[in-house]
Amino acid sequence: MSVTDTDVAGPASTVRAHGSLRDELLRGLAAPICLTWEWTYACNLACVHCLSSSGRRDPRELTTGQLRSVVDQLAGMQVFYVNVGGGEPMTRPDFFDVLEYAVDHGVGVKFSTNGGMINPVKARRLAALDYVDIQISLDGADAMTNDPVRGTGSYDRARTAMDHLATAGFGAFKLSVVVTRHNASQLDSFEALARDYGAELRITRLRPSGRGRDSWAELHPTATQQRDLHSWLLARPHVLTGDSFFHLAAYGQSLPGLNLCGAGRVVCLIDPVGDVYACPFALHEHFRAGNVLDTGGFAAVWRESELFTELREPGSAGACASCGHYDACQGGCMAAKFFTGLPLDGPDPECVLGHGEAALAAVSPASLPAVDNDHSKNDRSRNPGAKRLLPLSVLR
């Protein structure tokens, strides 16, 4: 996220948020800066690392009228734009209806899609809209790397969608990549691919949330890859990261962005049934603050919920208090700790100083939190022995 700090205390610069700006943001804002809004749990793919364990539509998902009413609330709070996702948001029959309603009401939309439903007609319709950004997800620079994670044929479908957008003159869409152990060596190829399309490259962190809980251990980058990633990103400030690598600041140099955990302070998530969570990686009852259909709507949840109020209070460094790098990484990602069974006031599982590895070794698999809201087509709670559609072992 590109934020400029215009302070009267001196000439402003694009910030690597330190000091007073970070303090202000941690105390919370009148409305979120970065709101993720998932429109459906339905998905035409079954990615092994899906944050929201999507697959099947939930019968309680918000209706078109309810989605529009949430747009009205967000417009009233001056939420400037939302990050729409799912599931695959384009599976909703009212996708364009709500998209256009949001844009018409001053709420810009950046939506994440696997591209499978972007045909030439839809690409032209999208190209005609102002204030719409598109992120196409791709987790490998070739089908051999991408498809075991995202599903057979998903690489080709994403590339076809990118072709349709280019032909329709959509302009600079975003190519969105989650860094894994298997694609970490392909960053230059992703950059070249984005350049070929005139697209922006967005690289984000793999989280152990949703189905990622079960695939994270074998997919997350190695310590060496993480170190290389930090150098690679430092040399490329134009590559977007969604502020997701702030734990890497402990290497000594922070990446551009706010570099803080914005959960409940700057960011939050509205899920397809209207539940509000502290962040998009924390779809679990433990981080649920309320529902947009409750009295007072989203504004009341954002401004008054017990959970968000608590998150805005100064936190304790806990087990990291004696670490000289705590100011840089702030203890890392809350969701990454929670879903790997680590204490929230301890080190991040991918702590660059290696404190996470030691802590992870002590976690019993039986103590991991259950995956809430599982909408997988092969729901493990209903079919515990279900095999993943695509065994990751093909990558080895």
Partner 1 sequence: MPTPTPTPTPPHAAAAVTTGAFDRGRAYQLHPKVALRPERFGALAYSYDTRRLSLLKDLDLVAVVRSLADAPSAAVALDAVPTAKRPAVERALARLVETGFVRERH
In the bound complex, what is the minimum distance in angstroms from residue 255's beta carbon to partner 1?
A: 17
In the bound complex, what is the minimum distance in angstroms from residue 201's beta carbon to partner 1?
A: 16
Site string (302-341) toward partner 1, x via CB under 8 A: ----------------------------------------
365 in the Ramachandran plot: left (φ > 0), alpha (ψ -120 to 50) or beta?
Answer: alpha
* Residue 5 is a binding residue for partner 1 (CB under 8 A): yes
**In the structure encoding, which two tokens stand for residue 343, read together?**
């204490």
In the bound complex, what is the minimum distance in angstroms from residue 141's beta carbon to partner 1?
A: 26
Site string (109-128) toward partner 1, x via CB under 8 A: --------------------
| Touching partner 1, residues 131-150 (CB under 8 A) | 131, 133
Give the residue, chosen from 72, 96, 106, 232, that forms a contact with partner 1 under the rule CB under 8 A.
106
In this structure, the number of other CB atoms found within 10 A of the CB of residue 92 comes to 23
Residues pairing with 178 in the sheet:
204
In the bound complex, what is the minimum distance in angstroms from residue 30's beta carbon to partner 1?
A: 5
Part in contact with partner 1 (CB under 8 A); list of ranges 77-85, 182-190, 220-228, 285-293 = 77-85
Give the residue, chosen from 16, 24, 74, 340, that forms a contact with partner 1 under the rule CB under 8 A.
24
**Sequence letter at residue 247:** H
* Whether the bond into 87 is cis, omega within 30 of 0: yes
* Residue 11 is a binding residue for partner 1 (CB under 8 A): yes
Give the residue, chosen from 18, 21, 299, 379, that forms a contact with partner 1 under the rule CB under 8 A.
21
- Do residues 71 and 101 make contact, with C-beta atoms less than 8 angstroms apart? yes
Site string (30-49) toward partner 1, x via CB under 8 A: xx-x----------------
* Residue 362 is a binding residue for partner 1 (CB under 8 A): no
* Residue 75 is a binding residue for partner 1 (CB under 8 A): no
Nearest Cα residue to 167 out of 118, 224, 226: 118
What b-and-e string marks burial along 316-354, b requiring 16 or more CB atoms within 10 Å of the CB?
A: eeeebeebebbebbbbbbbbbbbbbbbeeebbbbbbbbe
- Do residues 173 and 164 make contact, with C-beta atoms less than 8 angstroms apart? no
Kindly list the distances between the CA atom of residue 39 and the CA atoms of 263, 271, 302, 333, 388, in Å, as whole numbers in the listed order: 20, 7, 19, 24, 24
* Residue 293 is a binding residue for partner 1 (CB under 8 A): no
∠ at Cα 182 (179, 184), nearest 5°? 45
In the bound complex, what is the minimum distance in angstroms from residue 296's beta carbon to partner 1?
A: 19
Locus of tokens 């998932």: 38
DSSP assignment of 146-207:
HHHHH-TTHHHHHHHHHHHHHHHT----EEEEEE-TTTGGGHHHHHHHHHHHTPEEEEEE--
In the bound complex, what is the minimum distance in angstroms from residue 283's beta carbon to partner 1?
A: 26
Give the residue, chosen from 60, 64, 76, 78, that forms a contact with partner 1 under the rule CB under 8 A.
78
Q: Which residues make up the interface to partner 1 (CB under 8 A)?
A: 1-12, 20-21, 24, 27, 29-31, 33, 78, 80-81, 106, 108, 130-131, 133
